[in-house]
Amino acid sequence: MAEPVLELVDVRYRYPTGPEALRGLTLSVAPGERVGLVGPNGAGKSTLLLALAGFVPAEGLIRVAGHTLTRGTARDVRRHLGLVFQDADDQLFMPRVIDDIAFGPVTMGLALEEVQVRVHEALHAVDLEGYETRAPYHLSVGEKRRAALATVLAMRPQILALDEPSANLDPRGRRRLIQLLAGLSSTLLVVGHDLDLILEVCQRTVVIDAGRVAADGPSAEILGNRELLESHGLELPLGLAARM
C-alpha cells in the first residue's frame, strides 16, 4: 500500500486561555483520498486544519507528504498542504485577482513563465478566466470562494484542505463548487456541516467530536447512520433523509 500522504498520531492542542481543542487525535489519509471531516461546533475540526498547516503549535506527530511538521519545517509543509479558509477575505488581499493567485508562486521563487502557467491553470480550474484584473472586493461570495481556492491551486499542493467551503453560497454557487471539487485530482480534506456536499465529494467521512476521532468509514455508511450522527449533534444529509 502507498505511504500515507497525511499522518497524525496523538495530536493535541490546548488554546492558551481555553479548553483542550485536540485530545489525542490520530488519523491517516492515503494519496488521492477525499475525506470529509464532520462534527458539532467546537469539535476541533477547524483547529485541526490550522494545526496541519503549522498555524497552531500542536503536540504529537504531524507528517505531511513525508515531511514531519516542526516549527522549522512549517513553511515547507505549507507547500504540500494548501489551506482554503472559510472566509475568502482572509486570503484575498491584493489589488487584483491575478495578483492574489500569483502571490504564492512568486514567493516560491518560480520563474515568471512558470508563474504565468500556474496562474492560468488555476483560473481555468475554478472557471474564473477573464477575471484577472477584477478587484477581489467586487466579486460575489461564490467568486471570492473560487478565487481563494485558485490562490491555493496555483501552489500545486498534494493535499487541499477546505474549511466550510459551501458556507454562504447560493444554490448555483454551491453546485458549481461541488462540480469543481469533484473534478480535482488532489487529496482532499473537507471540513463542513454541509453533509450533502460531503456525501457527493468525499468517499470517506471522519466524525470528530471533543477533539478526537469518533467514527471513520465510507461516507455512505457514516452519513447514513442516523443514530451515530445524532449522538454527535448531526443530522442525516437531506438527500438521504428524503429517502427514509
pLDDT tens digits along 125-139: 999 999 999 999 999
Domains in the chain, CATH or no CATH each: 6-91+159-241 (3.40.50.300)
Which residue do the cell numbers 498555524 mark?
55
What was the pLDDT predicted at 132? 96
State the DSSP string of 144-180.
Answer: HHHHHHHHHHTT--SEEEEESTTTT--HHHHHHHHHH
Instruction: Write the pLDDT tens digit of every residue in 73-82.
Output: 998 899 999 9
Q: Is the pLDDT of residue 239 over 80?
A: no
Q: Quote the CA–CA distance of 133 and 176 in Å, as a whole number.
A: 22
Instruction: Write the pLDDT tens digit of every residue in 82-116.
Output: 999 999 999 999 999 999 999 999 999 999 999 99
In which band, very low, low, confident or very high, does the pLDDT at 244 lie, cut at 50, 70 and 90?
low
What was the pLDDT predicted at 159? 96
Phi and psi, residue 184, nearest 5°? -80, 150
Instruction: Write the pLDDT tens digit of every residue in 22-66.
Output: 999 999 999 999 999 999 999 999 999 999 999 999 999 999 999
What was the pLDDT predicted at 242? 59
C-alpha to C-alpha distances, 202 to 111, 197, 205, 211, nearest whole angstrom: 35, 8, 7, 21
**Dihedral sign (CA 93, 94, 99, 105):** negative
What was the pLDDT predicted at 243? 65
Instruction: Write the pLDDT tens digit of every residue in 188-201.
Output: 999 999 999 999 99
Q: What is the DSSP letter of 4?
A: P
State the DSSP string of 63-128.
Answer: EETTEE--TTTHHHHHHHEEEE-SSGGGT--SSSHHHHHHHHHHHTT--HHHHHHHHHHHHHHTT-
Instruction: Write the pLDDT tens digit of every residue in 159-176.
Output: 999 999 998 888 988 998
Closest to 200 measured CA to CA, from 175, 171, 172: 175
Average pLDDT, the chain: 93
C-alpha to C-alpha distances, 90 to 147, 167, 240, nearest whole angstrom: 12, 14, 34
Residue 165, Cβ neighbours under 10 Å: how many? Answer: 26
Residue 217, Cβ neighbours under 10 Å: how many? Answer: 14
Mean of pLDDT values over 213-231:
96
Q: Quote the CA–CA distance of 240 and 136 in Å, as a whole number.
A: 37
